[in-house]
């Protein structure tokens, strides 16, 4: 999604805003802009591209003034053009806005404003908000009344920061994240603490339906009825500011390499919550597990391990689908929501549906200050540190470890897992990337790749396809092994590569047979297995381990393969085209 930022203080605003935007670039990165207020005038620069590219072209960070706003965009309304980039000035040029989210009634509002004589330069819904602010400010002559009137007129999900020519900042939140950073002599407004963590660790998580006005070195928080709702200041973990690549070429590579440690840390600070979750799951009549993208693949694995190891039935639900069948949720059930960011709109909507059915919500989440964590009854932190690369890597393996720990607890620790030994085996895979790098070279010019797995390895095939798609833009598809002859076999020929996920578990011989059938059609086979076979054109060895851990052992080399294939194809592994790290709109 887009990131928004605001600064009000004693320092020059524009370099601080550019730094914050750079750190939040994972949220959206097709265009960027900054506006500042100086001597009662709004100055603005923007352009298409990433923060550093645009900054070196137009020097965003040289705009004068101690108050300012900034934005990185992930296009929703309107193409990627300079005119559609934020900030957007109002027609009078006396107000500018940065906005994240979607205004549902923007067409209606736009027509009304056009009738009033306003004209629009961009295709965005955001420009409607800023002109509505101008219209309301001209009527009320007061920032507070202007915001109250404007939020009563717009419908949708949004967070915006508006800067007025007189140097006042106002920011409102409705179902999109907005955080106030409170420094010594300055204030920050941001979509993510990463926007200001370098300057202050005091954060106010603005509640939904609240807004803030910053003026004359003071701030005032109000709700959409104009009442004082109160607020709390949270000390944010500095660890979340620790988002540097270090010696790694990309965040994605760094995050893949952190996994030997993050699997040991997963759920480490949530022992009580894991125990509580296990008790609740044991006693529940109905259990649902939801997530989107990679987190949904974790939900599929949750179903498998709960049934296999503790004989508990759980239904995985793709978060974005639940709205079409909310009646499937039985009252008073357990609803497990998995999300790295805790801000995915689809997941939050699914949780709202579950709450209406009186479900108890267990959140498995990385960002403990996220909306999901605040909505949940039981919160289990992934504890894997910030994940900046847009493709989920370490958060996925941390989610799986937490699910294993819950299952272990339910089994009264009958299932034993030596995570320390396992971490060593992951280090071994990570320390030997040469073969994977060679295979990545082979993938450079291919257009299709299929990944085949059975049983618990099928969700890994799906996750592998997701990683390959996102990082390399190669068409990739996960295939359940048993379905091969029911259709996908028609696709196999000598132009195709197939990754066979084949650990020595109960799926081994059936999957080897599938590999043989595919090979007979001329396709190249990459085998991921702890047993070598001459059927594989390339063998990626994984350790022979406790079979519950195979999914993690399998996905780590595929993450590496996707990363190195991205380098071969010269795509940017950290920022895949058209994607954003946290999808806070539907
Ligand atoms: C895939 C990926 C996405 C996310 C999905 C859910 O690599 O990153 O598919 O997994 O958008 O995000 P969270 O887990 O933040 O809810």
Q: Of 171, 157, 75, which is closest to residue 124 (Cα–Cα)?
A: 75
Q: Is the CB of 399 under 6 A from ligand 1?
A: no
Q: What integer best gives the mean pLDDT of the chain?
A: 94
Which residue's alpha carbon is at the smallest distance from atom 16 of ligand 1? 339
Q: Residue 238 above 90 pLDDT? A: no
Instruction: Report the side by side order of strands in the sheet with 315-318.
Output: 315-318, 287-291, 334-339, 360-365, 378-381
- Compute the average pLDDT of residues 551-563: 98
pLDDT level of residue 241 (50, 70, 90 thresholds):
low
**Least confident span in 34-48, 187-201, 551-565:** 187-201
State residue 382's pLDDT score: 97
Domain CATH code at residue 35 = 3.60.20.10
Whether residues 447 and 543 share a domain: the answer is: yes
SS3 of residue 220 by DSSP: strand
Q: Supply the pLDDT for residue 583.
A: 80
Residue tagged active-site, from 254, 469, 524, 581: 581
Residue 581 falls inside a structural domain: no
Position in ligand 1 atom list of the atom nearest CA 467:
7
pLDDT of residue 304: 97
pLDDT of residue 117: 97
Same domain, 254 and 216: no
- Mean pLDDT on 275-286: 97
Ligand 1 centre and the CA of 414: distance in Å? 32
Q: 191 and 134 share a domain? A: yes
The answer to whether 115 touches 75, Cβ cutoff 8 Å, is no
The number of CA neighbours under 13 Å toward the Cβ of 293 is: 22
The answer, yes or no, to whether any atom of ligand 1 lies below 6 A from the CB of 201, is: no
Is the model's pLDDT at 568 over the cut of 60?
Answer: yes
205: pLDDT strictly greater than 90: no
The verdict on 265 and 407 lying in the same domain is yes
The residue whose C-alpha atom lies closest to atom 4 belonging to ligand 1 is: 293
Query: What is the extent of the structural domain holding 272?
Result: 244-416
Residues 98 and 231 in one domain: yes
Q: Which of 342, 392, 562, 563 to mutate to test ligand 1, by most ligand atoms within 8 A of the CB atom?
A: 392
pLDDT at 103 over 80: yes
Quick one: 201 and 258 in the same domain? Answer: no
Q: Is residue 584 part of a domain?
A: no
Using one digit for the tens of pLDDT, what is the confidence trace for 3-15? 999 999 999 999 9
What pLDDT is attached to residue 434?
Answer: 94
Regarding the beta carbon of 470 and ligand 1, being less than 6 Å apart is answered yes
pLDDT at 24: 84
Q: Which of 168-172, 231-235, 320-324, 425-429 has the lowest mean pLDDT?
A: 231-235
**584 touches ligand 1 (CB under 6 Å):** no
The pLDDT, as a whole number, for residue 27 is 76
Pair (520, 557) in one structural domain: yes
Per-residue pLDDT at 221: 97
User: From the CB of 292, is ligand 1 less than 6 Å away?
Assistant: yes
Task: Please tell me whether residues 45 and 142 are part of one structural domain.
Answer: yes
Atom 9 (ligand 1) nearest CA = 293
In a domain, 186, yes or no: yes
| Å from CA of 554 to ligand 1 middle | 19
What pLDDT is recorded for position 242?
Answer: 59
User: Picking from 73-77, 220-224, 313-317, 468-472, which range would have the lowest pLDDT averaged per residue?
Assistant: 73-77
393-416 pLDDT tens trace: 999 999 999 999 999 999 998 888
Residue 582 Cβ inside 6 Å of ligand 1? The answer reads: yes
State whether the beta carbon of 186 lies less than 6 angstroms from ligand 1.
no
Q: Are residues 305 and 442 in the same domain?
A: no
Q: Of 394, 416, 438, which residue constitutes the final position of a domain?
A: 416
544 noted as active-site residue: no
Rg (alpha carbons) of the chain, rounded to whole number: 25
Q: Is the pLDDT of residue 580 over 90?
A: no
- Across 191-242, the runs of DSSP E, i.e. the strands, are 202-205, 210-215, 218-223, 234-235
User: What CATH number did the domain enclosing 450 receive?
Assistant: 3.40.50.10490
Of the chain, the percentage scoring pLDDT greater than 70 comes to: 98
| Residue 363 sits in the same domain as residue 462 | no
Average pLDDT over residues 103-113: 96
Total domains, the chain: 3
| Mean pLDDT to the nearest integer, 53-57 | 95
Is residue 206 situated within a structural domain? yes
Residue 252, ligand 1, Cβ within 6 A: no
- Residue 403 CA to its chain's centroid (Å): 20
Question: From ligand 1's centre to the CA of 295, what distance in Å?
Answer: 6
Residue among 67, 235, 232 nearest 161 (CA): 67
* 19 is a domain residue: yes
Does 565 score more than 60 pLDDT?
Answer: yes
The answer to whether residues 573 and 566 touch, using CB atoms and an 8 Å cutoff, is yes
Nearest to 462 by CA among 447, 450, 448, 474: 450
How much is the average pLDDT of 307-332? 97
How far, in Å, CA of 160 to CA of 67, rounded?
Answer: 16
Q: What is the mean pLDDT of residues 47-53?
A: 94
* CB of 344 closer than 6 angstroms to any ligand 1 atom: yes
Average pLDDT over residues 427-433: 93
Identified catalytic residue from 2, 66, 110, 524: 2
Mutational pocket test of ligand 1: of 381, 583, 584, 586, the residue with most ligand atoms within 8 Å of the beta carbon? 583
- Pocket test of ligand 1: the residue of 26, 295, 370, 459 to mutate, having most ligand atoms within 8 Å of its CB, is 295
d(CA 484, CA 57): 51
Query: What does the alpha-carbon distance between residue 438 and residue 170 come to, in Å, rounded to a whole number?
Result: 53
pLDDT score for 237: 64
Give pLDDT, residue 78. 81
Residue 37 lies in a domain: yes
Q: Is 116 exposed, middle or buried (0-12, 13-18, 19+ CB in 10 A)?
A: exposed
Query: Same structural domain for residues 197 and 227?
Result: yes
Q: Which helix (H) or strand (E) holds 552?
A: helix 550-568
**CA atoms of 161 and 4, how far apart (whole Å):** 7
Q: What is the mean pLDDT of residues 138-158?
A: 97
Residues 235, 183 share a domain: yes
The finding on whether 293 has its CB within 6 A of some atom of ligand 1 is yes
| Catalytic residue list contains 359 | no
423 domain residue, yes or no? no
Phi, psi for 103 (deg, rounded to 5) = -95, 115
Domain end, chosen from 369, 391, 416, is at 416
Give the residue from 208, 241, 274 where a domain finishes: 241
Mutate-to-test residue for ligand 1 from 192, 289, 290, 292, highest number of ligand atoms within 8 A of CB: 292
Give the model confidence (pLDDT) of 444-466 as tens digits. Answer: 999 999 999 999 999 999 999 99
Domain contains 425 = no
């Amino acid at each position: 999604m887009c990131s928004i930022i605001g600064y009000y203080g004693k320092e020059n605003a524009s370099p601080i805003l550019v730094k914050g935007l750079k750190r939040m670039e994972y949220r959206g990165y097709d265009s960027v802009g900054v506006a500042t207020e100086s001597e009662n005038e709004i100055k603005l620069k923007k352009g298409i591209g990433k923060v550093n590219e645009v900054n070196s072209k137009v020097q965003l960070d040289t705009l004068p003034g101690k108050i300012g706003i900034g934005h990185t965009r992930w296009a929703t309304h309107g193409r990627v053009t300079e005119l559609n980039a934020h900030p957007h000035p109002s027609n009078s040029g006396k107000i500018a806005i940065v906005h994240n989210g979607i205004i549902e009634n923007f067409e209606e509002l736009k027509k009304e404003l056009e009738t009033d004589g306003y004209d629009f330069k961009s295709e965005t819904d955001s420009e409607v908000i800023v002109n509505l602010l101008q219209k309301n400010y001209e009527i009320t002559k007061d920032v507070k009344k202007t915001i109250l009137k404007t939020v009563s007129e717009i419908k949708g999900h949004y967070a915006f920061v508006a800067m007025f020519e007189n140097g006042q900042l106002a920011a409102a939140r409705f179902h999109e994240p907005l955080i106030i950073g409170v420094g010594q002599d300055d204030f920050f407004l941001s979509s993510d603490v990463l926007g200001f963590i370098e300057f202050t660790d005091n954060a106010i998580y603005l509640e939904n339906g609240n807004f803030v006005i910053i003026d004359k070195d003071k701030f005032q928080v109000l709700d959409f009825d104009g009442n004082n709702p109160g607020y709390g200041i949270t000390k944010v973990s500095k660890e979340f500011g620790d988002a540097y690549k270090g010696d790694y070429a990309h965040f994605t590579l760094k995050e893949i390499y952190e996994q030997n440690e993050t699997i040991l840390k997963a759920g480490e600070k949530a022992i009580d919550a894991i125990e509580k979750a296990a008790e609740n799951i044991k006693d529940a009549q109905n259990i649902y597990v939801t997530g989107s993208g990679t987190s949904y693949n974790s939900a599929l694995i949750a179903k498998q391990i709960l049934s296999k190891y503790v004989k508990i039935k759980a239904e995985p639900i793709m978060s974005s689908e639940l709205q079409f069948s909310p009646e499937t949720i039985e009252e008073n059930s357990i609803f497990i929501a998995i999300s790295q960011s805790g801000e995915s709109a689809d997941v939050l909507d699914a949780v709202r549906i579950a709450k209406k059915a009186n479900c108890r919500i267990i959140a498995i989440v990385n960002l403990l200050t996220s909306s999901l964590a605040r909505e949940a009854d039981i919160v289990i932190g992934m504890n894997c540190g910030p994940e900046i690369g847009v493709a989920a890597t370490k958060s996925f393996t941390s989610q799986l470890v937490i699910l294993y720990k819950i299952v272990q607890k339910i089994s009264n620790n009958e299932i034993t897992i030596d995570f320390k030994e396992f971490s060593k085996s992951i280090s071994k895979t990570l320390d030997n990337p040469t073969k994977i790098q060679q295979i990545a070279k082979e993938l450079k010019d291919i257009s299709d790749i299929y990944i085949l797995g059975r049983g618990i390895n099928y969700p890994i095939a799906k996750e592998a396809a997701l990683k390959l798609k996102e990082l390399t833009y190669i068409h990739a598809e996960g295939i359940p092994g048993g379905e091969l002859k029911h259709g996908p076999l028609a696709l196999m020929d000598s132009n195709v590569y197939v990754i066979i996920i084949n650990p020595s578990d109960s799926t081994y011989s059936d999957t080897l047979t599938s590999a043989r059938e595919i090979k007979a059609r001329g396709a190249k086979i990459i085998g991921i297995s702890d047993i070598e076979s001459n059927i594989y054109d390339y063998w990626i060895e994984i350790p022979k381990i406790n079979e519950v851990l195979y999914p993690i052992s399998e996905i780590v080399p595929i993450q590496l393969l996707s990363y190195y294939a991205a380098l071969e194809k010269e795509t940017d592994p950290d920022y895949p085209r058209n994607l954003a790290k946290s999808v806070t709109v539907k």
